[in-house]
Amino acid sequence: MDSILDIFFKGLIRGIGSFIGRILFSFVCYYTGAIVCRILTLGKFPKFFIDDPMDSPPAIFCSFFGVSIYVGAALFWAVNNM
């Protein structure tokens, strides 16, 4: 049987991980993806920067685009530094 402290620390670690993941995905990846999307579409998409990036489908697209940029950059760096 788990003690109360084990349950508390598991919840605390899960909460901190969720908070860090949300900030990383919402803030860093969204703004990277939104800036690159605006450059590639010559300012047509997204129309404006959204306050809460998890709010609408275009914002989620920009966030995933930002993730793909970081993953691609990491793979490019890994392959070229072998």
Q: What is the pTM of this model?
A: 0.71
DSSP assignment letter at 27: I
Q: What is the pLDDT along the chain (82 residues), one digit of tens a residue?
A: 568 888 888 888 999 988 888 888 778 888 899 899 999 999 888 877 666 666 788 888 888 999 999 999 999 999 998 7
* H/E run at residue 13: helix 4-23
Is 54:26 a contact under the CB 8 Å cutoff? yes
Question: What distances in angstroms separate CA 81 from CA 17, 27, 68, 72, 78, one per listed residue?
Answer: 30, 29, 20, 14, 5
